[in-house]
Amino acid sequence: MGLSTSASDTPPKSPVKQRRWTVALLLFLTVAAFYWKLTLTRQFTWTRGPDLAEQVLPWFQIQAGEWHAGRIPLWDPYSWVGQPLIGQAQPGVAYPLNWLLFAMPLVDGHLSPIALNWYYVIIHFMAAAFAYLFIRDLGLSRAAAFAAGIIFAFSGYLGTMDWPQMINGAVWIPLVFLFQFRALRGERPIANAALSGMFLGIAFLSGHHQAPMFTTLAWALIWLWHIVRNRRLWSAAALALIVLVLTSALQTVPAYEYGHLALRWAGAPDALKWNQPVPYAVHAQYDLKAYSLFGLVFPEAKMHVDPFIGVVALTLALLAVAACWRDPRVRLLALLGLGALVYSLGHNSVYQGLLYAITPDLDKARTPSAIVVLMQFAAAALAAFGIDRLRDAAPSPWLRRARWTLLVFGVIALTISLEAVITHRLIFPADDRIILTGAIALVLAALLLLRPAATPIPLILILIFELGNCAQYNLLDTSDRQRMTWLDRLHANGDVADYLRQQPGFQRAEVAGDAFAPSWGAWNGIEMNGGSGASVTFNVLNSEFYSPTGRRMWGIAYVLSAKEDPTLGQDVFTGASGLKVYRRRDAYPRAWAVHPQPCESPDKVQLTEHLPDRLTIKADVACPGTVILSDTYYPGWRARLDHRRVEIQQVNGAMRGVAVPQGNHIITMRYRPTSVYLGAFLTLLGIAIPLLITMRSHSKSRPDIRVAPQSEPRP
């Protein structure tokens, strides 16, 4: 009898697949339990500090509102008189995981805190899962892969970084190297090289270039090293590079367009144009200070990006290097980790300065200390080798040396800590997690005395314990009103926002003094003067933006002030918090007409609809002229005059203007940027190429299985 396809004869699910799903569930539950403060209580948040409250959350709120309104969020009308949202890159408009967040139900029109917390947890689950897959692909055990996943997900960079666009770009590192290593091993090199480039391109879609740029640097150096040894790999590397460029295009093409038209604040004394490199003094400021090397094992012993991996992970990684050095994978990972650590030292490392000087655009990754994420990835992978080496029945002299080193280190750390407590009258003068570091070293030494085959589960438990004393400290207790100041300011004065939204004419508002950040407007759907961001188009900055005349022309009619000040205008509203709203009667309307020569009859120009990506103006002009809209002139905006395509002119330095003949007209403008359409097409192409190549390679390698007819006798 031949093979049957009936339901009754359907084979059971593969035990291998069942184990994979079991491990995936266990890994997810581990990440969710690790972040119990976010998943099991409502007492903590990861959205802390001014940067998240004044930049990231307003960006996210704009996008969530647009997705729920059925529009793709490409333009921000609420800050700096209009800026391209996708061109700024950091809002993460092009990143698919963000789309899932923005699709979640809103709470009173705003992003749900629960959705935001789970979004953060899912990012770390992705990091853990991708690292697990990388280690399993190297042929190591599930326990080793599980440990590597949690090390990568919870150690310094991913464990303490709260900028989502930065950690989103880092979680793809394991998949980038997984497929690169496959290609280098000769496993379908073309297909796997293309997949490696695709995942690196997806990392660039995250919105921040830092981690993807450093990953690209390491990725390219690995390709070059292997091409020198095997020139047949050049075609695979070239394809990987092409796919990288294509896949990242949805973000990089609009960002390239915006970058040439904007000034960027990068920590230099002055804002920078596209062709101006970030000064090396900025790199020297944001590098990993030499004393931060202690931060590899001591929590919070750092400045800028946290290099922490902990005593357990570092011991396992060093054990792997010492005991498994002959393994080329270990050598490559060790060089990757060491190279990243050396680069992170910035001005203390001549090698980092050399790469800064000779590598195109590397200057724009202005924080050398951020490359520690590659060191932590390499350390996680090496720790996996260390765990499997411990389970090896063959004894190793390095194991004995590791035990003694841990014992001595633990005793010294605890002795110094005890002396500090006694000297300061039972009050520890520094971060008391130093004491835990010494204690963990002693516990690890004791674990290594056990039979190696029995150590993985206790090792993983103590590993999670140690990493929890780093990553968990990053979360903000919402009852801490002092540290919640920034979020409180963002959520406050909803009655003021309601009042401003009800006013006719779509006129803008500004904040007097430093009452709160103007990005409050983006959170509440109020168009504001200024905003919090890393860049602004220079046509706006070069206009009379800050002058009284400029404020009037940009339609800034309302001033928000925490203090009573009649000089700001007419007092028209007072919120429950005491915040006052003043109105300036001399502010221009948002749209008006000008004529080359005097016109006897008055014009009637009214902005009747103003959405982020579209607007409508009704204009009744007595003679030919130009209708001016006080929104930023920028490529991609397209206008129609009575359903006929017309050109948008740049007027008054940075505003939009449309020439109109005498009469009654309807002017519509829509933001339809060619850079986004082109980028989307290239990204889809970049994803399709590796997938098609992979499908074809799998079909070629699949054995030809013939299904015999039911009536054919069994051979």
pLDDT in tens, 675-697: 999 999 999 999 999 999 999 88
Cα 88 to Cα 258: distance, rounded to the nearest angstrom = 7
Inform me whether the pLDDT recorded for 714 exceeds 50. Answer: no
DSSP helix, strand, coil percent of the chain (3-state; round to 5): 55, 15, 30
Strand partners, 573: 581
How many residues can be counted in the chain?
715
The answer on 598 and 538 residing in a single domain is no
The answer on 270 and 247 residing in a single domain is yes
* Domain final residue, candidates 583, 602, 617: 583
pLDDT, average across residues 597-607: 91
- Of 515 and 385, more confident: 385
Tell me the pLDDT band of 100, cut-offs 50, 70 and 90: very high
Side chain identity, residue 150: I
The answer on 575 and 596 residing in a single domain is no
414-438 pLDDT per residue, tens: 898 888 888 877 777 777 788 899 9
Q: How many Cβ atoms from other residues are within 10 Å of residue 190's Cβ?
A: 17
Of 271-280, 463-472, 700-709, minimum mean pLDDT range? 700-709
The pLDDT, as a whole number, for residue 532 is 84
Q: Cβ contacts of residue 676 below 8 Å, gap of 6+?
A: 74, 86, 250, 253, 254, 636
H or E element: which one contains 486?
A: helix 485-491
Query: Considering the domain boundaries, does residue 3 fall inside one?
Result: no
Structural domain total, the chain: 3
Tell me the pLDDT band of 18, cut-offs 50, 70 and 90: confident
Inform me whether the pLDDT recorded for 549 exceeds 60. Answer: yes
Inform me whether the pLDDT recorded for 32 exceeds 50. Answer: yes
574-589 pLDDT per residue, tens: 999 999 999 999 999 9
The answer on 341 and 322 residing in a single domain is yes
Query: Considering the domain boundaries, does residue 11 fall inside one?
Result: no
What DSSP state is assigned to residue 617? E
The answer on 216 and 338 residing in a single domain is yes
pLDDT, average across residues 294-310: 90
Query: Considering the domain boundaries, does residue 687 fall inside one?
Result: no
The answer on 321 and 287 residing in a single domain is yes
Query: Considering the domain boundaries, does residue 448 fall inside one?
Result: no
319-343 pLDDT per residue, tens: 999 999 999 999 999 999 999 999 9
Tell me the pLDDT band of 201, cut-offs 50, 70 and 90: very high
Q: How many Cβ atoms from other residues are within 10 Å of residue 351's Cβ?
A: 11
Joined tokens for residue 76: 């921000």
Cα 444 to Cα 404: distance, rounded to the nearest angstrom = 11
Q: What is the mean pLDDT of the chain?
A: 91
The answer on 658 and 574 residing in a single domain is no
The answer on 119 and 250 residing in a single domain is yes
Tell me the pLDDT band of 287, cut-offs 50, 70 and 90: very high
3-state secondary structure of 665: strand
pLDDT, average across residues 353-374: 93
CATH number at residue 663: 2.60.40
Joined tokens for residue 697: 């390679």
User: 0.85 cut: is pTM over it?
Assistant: yes
pLDDT, average across residues 692-715: 58
Query: Considering the domain boundaries, does residue 414 fall inside one?
Result: no
The answer on 136 and 106 residing in a single domain is yes
Inform me whether the pLDDT recorded for 1 exceeds 60. Answer: no
pLDDT, average across residues 637-657: 96
Tell me the pLDDT band of 452, cut-offs 50, 70 and 90: low
The pLDDT, as a whole number, for residue 711 is 39
Side chain identity, residue 93: V
* Domain final residue, candidates 546, 564, 583: 583
* Domain final residue, candidates 474, 508, 533: 474
Percent of the chain at pLDDT > 70 equals 95
pLDDT, average across residues 476-499: 91
Highest mean pLDDT among 20-29, 244-253, 259-268, 467-476: 244-253
pLDDT, average across residues 464-488: 90
The answer on 96 and 206 residing in a single domain is yes
Query: Considering the domain boundaries, does residue 713 fall inside one?
Result: no
The pLDDT, as a whole number, for residue 448 is 87
Percent of the chain at pLDDT > 90 equals 76
Q: How many Cβ atoms from other residues are within 10 Å of residue 501's Cβ?
A: 11
The answer on 195 and 282 residing in a single domain is yes
Tell me the pLDDT band of 21, cut-offs 50, 70 and 90: confident
Cα 161 to Cα 164: distance, rounded to the nearest angstrom = 8
The answer on 135 and 118 residing in a single domain is yes
Q: Cβ contacts of residue 29 below 8 Å, gap of 6+?
A: none
Query: Considering the domain boundaries, does residue 420 fall inside one?
Result: no
The pLDDT, as a whole number, for residue 504 is 93
Backbone angles phi, psi at 362, to 5 degrees: -65, -20
Query: Is-contact 656 650, C-beta < 8 A?
Result: yes
643: containing domain = 591-672
